[in-house]
A and B are shown apart, each in its own frame.
Chain A
Amino acid sequence: MKNRTGWLAESLSIALSAALAAALTAAPAAAENIKRGGILTYMIPADAPPSLDGHKENTYATLHATAPFYSTLIAINPDNPSSSTDFVCDLCTEMPKATDDGKTYTFKIRKGVKFHDGTPLTAADVATSWQYIVHPPKGVSSARESYMVMVDTVESPDPETVVFKLKFATSAFLPALADPFAYIYKKETLEKDPTWYEKNILGSGPFKFVAYETGQSIKGVRNPDYYHEGQPYLDGFTAIFAAKQSVRVDAIRADRAATEFRGMPPSARDELVKELGDKITVQTSDWNCVNLLTPNQKKKPFDDVRVRRAMALAIDPWKGAPALSKIATVHTVGGLVFPGSPLAATKEELQKIVGFGPDIEKSRAEAKKLLEEAGAAGLKFELMNRNVDQPYKFVATWAIDEWSKIGLKVTQRVLPTGPFYDALRSGSFEVAVEFNCQNMVNPLLDVAKVLPRSVYPENYGGYEDPKLIEIYNSMLRETDPAKQRAKMREFETYALDTQVDTIMTPWWSRIITHRSYMKGWKISPSHYLNLNLANIWLDK
């Protein structure tokens, strides 16, 4: 018979070894099996980007082509990319705590980082790059200037420190700072020729630039001096521009490329899975993109809130989303806020908003009544849309069908990109299919889309509303999470239910189908994140 001490010792040793085993397996077990080497071939679902300068451009074509060459100050954690609060340092040493009532952030920059031409990268480079983003000098454009309105100054008091001083404390700062387009450029080059980066690449990222054939492909090779130990695992990469979706699907099918980083429609996913079985891996996530049906309130009868309300009531997203998700890249029903975010409405909260009600027949009956009251029964109008299939045209076709059920006769007017934007900005449309796509999940900034044009230049609803601005501003400056959430509900209800400034459609769904030998990459809600390829390795 074992005495007590013996039993205790035994159980302790079992517990200890179990803990040890757990610790060993919990540590990146993948780290043991990671294979170095290989070239990753992926596709960029676009034609050639206008320029290679991340500061000036907004298109994912630029990002997908150039992100592997550059470093940023901070980034969303590539191992947890669907979080909107988990930031990790890229060039900094650790995430700082805000000081001075949340208005000052002091970053320490790593030592020993080099640009690909061998010159050292210091805090001066970081500070200058950010200055050009936040307060670009005259004649230089920065596409993210409006996101950084909270920043007052960016300084580098010494070669290892960068200090951001804000005008007011806000939780929207860090997400904006993690913008994937915020490449760190060389200070000398920026100051000498701010347009140099439009056609040239010189970064400090995991890959060094090799070649760029316009409209064809861009190639990179491993940076042996990369400051993150062990990374990148790949020897190099080739990114091929492939604007046609069928080409992309066929290429993955025939293993001409491993993946693309934007998103595939459900039909492609089904086809590839059926054909390739376990040679293909599918990762899915909600996408921080959504289509909005925006009536132009400068045109009658859309200035009548009853008409807008009726239009919202006619649509049944609860039944529409599952059906649409089979053929289009949409999935989750949500309000103004990205569905995965803590600030998003719950289903119960949503169902109180017009257009999300649980009883569609009742809603539609009410809609017809409202139309009669407003004298707009049987109204005919044009829905203006972009000439893009996924999911724009699908969503529009569905919406038109829904509206027909309350007697509205809607036709679609599809325009190429240029004329579409033109018509939007000049207000020559009745109802338009807009979109709200953001690089990061940053709900406080993302919902600014519905603010009136006087505050947010890219609003096309044609309305003015000081109360909406007021609610927004108080929400932006609110730092207590619970109070902030309450303010968001107030904002959302006012914009979507009281004023019906826009009508939501189901949020997009991102489906990435990649060859199973590509490992280490995790999907995120944005096709702008996690693209520097540093953590990818090939299991073949």
Chain B
Amino acid sequence: MYRYILNRLLLSIPTLIGAAALVFILMRLIPGDICVVRLGSGGSINPTAVANCHAQLGLDRSLVLQFFDFIVGFARGDFGTSMWSGKPVSQEIATRIPVSLEIALLATLVAVLIAIPLGTISALHQNSWLDHIVRTVAIAGIATPSFWLGIMSILVVLEVSHLAFGAPWMPPIDYVSLWDDPLRNLSIVILPAITIGYRYSAVTMRMTRSAMLEVLREDYIRTARAKGLFEHIVVNRHALQNALLPVVTLIGIEFAFLIGGLVVTEQVFNLNGIGRLFVLAVQNQDYTLTQALVMLTVAIFVVTNLAVDVLYAWLDPRIRFG
């Protein structure tokens, strides 16, 4: 098992380097210049100021040197300083992780609590009207653009609160952490969490359903039923435990993809999280910040995949590390 993990970790190094090279090249292929963007918002740019800015940010060095700096820095855990704000990248990211993490975890919670029971019920009553309704709701969750859902939900909340309470209500726009003011914090994150969570739970619901359907066809389930066991024991003790394997791995994989969803959702709800930082970094052509964020994303992806594979193999004795 440990050899397997080590092997996978070693294999992930070329992935990380590949991602680093790709983002490095792509960012520098984009025409434009952070210094011009930074100084040019009034319409008038001083060429000396731009040159100073280049020197200050290290953009006047050779590309090879810049890439080397980047890779070595990443290996040492030093992500450099953001070209836009001058603050250390790690600080920029650290201040914004709490929001994103909270939403991601809440969304996962929503997904798990709703999706698994619904998916199970749907499988147990395959092709009944209940099944059709659940499947429709699930597919709607995958089909609806999450940002549109976000826009609509804000609107609905505003209108409903206006009708019900006479004054329109929206969550506060300045963030407070969960520990400082739990109620206020929850009122801020609940809508985005539901918006992302809907899609997340839809995917999980479908996977639960198909996994359960497969398991329910197995012979040992037929045997369990023939033995006269109560249905709920059959389902919970025998079927669900085995069906949950692919579901758990899916939850893990989708968690890694949540970052993509966060990018758009944080825009809609004006949240100061990692997703929004990503958009800003790319728009400002802040090379160091973008590179660091991409490496972070890829690293999360690699680690999550590895964890999921290991978990899968560990839980399912039939799988061997081939």
By a beta-carbon cutoff of 8 Å, the part of chain A in contact with chain B is 41, 43, 47-48, 50-51, 56-60, 139-143, 145-147, 198-199, 213-217, 238, 240-244, 246-247, 250-251, 253-257, 275, 416-423, 425-426, 434-439, 449, 457-458
Among B44-52, B102-110, B192-200, B228-236, the stretch that binds chain A is B44-52
Residues of A within 8 A of B175 (CB): 216
With CB as the reference atom, state the residue of chain A lying closest to B31.
A422
7 contacts across the A-B interface (CB closer than 8 A)? A48-B84, A50-B284, A251-B173, A418-B283, A422-B31, A438-B42, A457-B44
CB contact under 8 A between A458 and B43, given known A141-B53, A253-B170, A254-B158:
yes
User: Within the complex, which residue of A57, A240, A244 is in contact with B174, where a contact is CB–CB below 8 Å?
Assistant: A240
Is B39 in contact with chain A by the CB < 8 A criterion?
yes
Inter-chain contact B95/A251, CB cutoff 8 Å: no
Inter-chain contact A58/B87, CB cutoff 8 Å: no
Residues of A within 8 A of B31 (CB): 418-419, 422-423, 426
With CB as the reference atom, state the residue of chain A lying closest to B42.
A58
Inter-chain contact A416/B42, CB cutoff 8 Å: no
Is B38 in contact with chain A by the CB < 8 A criterion?
yes
Inter-chain contact B45/A422, CB cutoff 8 Å: no
User: Within the complex, which residue of A59, A217, A238, A254 is in contact with B41, where a contact is CB–CB below 8 Å?
Assistant: A59
Among B3-11, B111-119, B269-277, the stretch that binds chain A is B269-277
Residues of A within 8 A of B204 (CB): none
Residues of A within 8 A of B178 (CB): none
Give Cα A214 to B87, complex, Å: 10
User: Within the complex, which residue of B44, B92, B174 is in contact with A458, where a contact is CB–CB below 8 Å?
Assistant: B44
Is B30 in contact with chain A by the CB < 8 A criterion?
yes
CB contact under 8 A between A214 and B92, given known A247-B173, A458-B44:
yes
Inter-chain contact A240/B173, CB cutoff 8 Å: yes
- Min distance, Cβ A245 to any Cβ of chain B, angstroms: 10
- Min distance, Cβ B155 to any Cβ of chain A, angstroms: 9
Query: Which of A47, A254, A438 has the most chain B CB atoms closer than 10 A to its own CB?
Result: A254
Inter-chain contact B38/A421, CB cutoff 8 Å: no
Inter-chain contact B41/A58, CB cutoff 8 Å: yes
Inter-chain contact B174/A216, CB cutoff 8 Å: yes
Give Cα A139 to B30, complex, Å: 27
Inter-chain contact B34/A418, CB cutoff 8 Å: yes
By a beta-carbon cutoff of 8 Å, the part of chain B in contact with chain A is 30-34, 36-49, 52-53, 84-87, 92, 95-96, 151, 154, 158, 162, 167-170, 172-175, 267-270, 272, 276-277, 280, 283-285
Give Cα A422 to B270, complex, Å: 29
Inter-chain contact B42/A244, CB cutoff 8 Å: no
Inter-chain contact A143/B151, CB cutoff 8 Å: no
User: Within the complex, which residue of A50, A145, A241, A426 is in contact with B46, where a contact is CB–CB below 8 Å?
Assistant: A145
User: Within the complex, which residue of A58, A199, A215 is in contact with B44, where a contact is CB–CB below 8 Å?
Assistant: A58
User: Within the complex, which residue of A199, A241, A439, A457 is in contact with B47, where a contact is CB–CB below 8 Å?
Assistant: A457
- Min distance, Cβ B101 to any Cβ of chain A, angstroms: 16
Give Cα A247 to B158, complex, Å: 12
Give Cα A419 to B30, complex, Å: 7
Inter-chain contact B43/A141, CB cutoff 8 Å: no
User: Within the complex, which residue of B42, B47, B167, B277 is in contact with A143, where a contact is CB–CB below 8 Å?
Assistant: B42
Query: Which of B162, B174, B267, B277 has the most chain A CB atoms closer than 10 A to its own CB?
Result: B174
- Min distance, Cβ A526 to any Cβ of chain B, angstroms: 11
CB contact under 8 A between A199 and B173, given known A141-B49, A247-B270:
no
User: Within the complex, which residue of A140, A145, A213, A422 is in contact with B95, where a contact is CB–CB below 8 Å?
Assistant: A213
CB contact under 8 A between A254 and B167, given known A47-B280, A50-B38:
yes
Inter-chain contact A146/B44, CB cutoff 8 Å: yes
Residues of B within 8 A of A254 (CB): 158, 167-170
Q: 7 new A-B pairs (CB below 8 Å) besides A250-B168, A458-B44?
A: A57-B41, A146-B44, A199-B86, A199-B87, A215-B280, A247-B173, A434-B43
Inter-chain contact A421/B37, CB cutoff 8 Å: yes
Inter-chain contact A421/B33, CB cutoff 8 Å: yes
Residues of A within 8 A of B158 (CB): 250, 253-254
User: Within the complex, which residue of B36, B49, B162 is in contact with A425, where a contact is CB–CB below 8 Å?
Assistant: B36
Inter-chain contact A457/B168, CB cutoff 8 Å: no
Residues of B within 8 A of A436 (CB): 43
Residues of A within 8 A of B39 (CB): 56-58, 141, 143
Give Cα A213 to B175, complex, Å: 10
Give Cα A251 to B170, complex, Å: 7
With CB as the reference atom, state the residue of chain B lying closest to A62.
B41
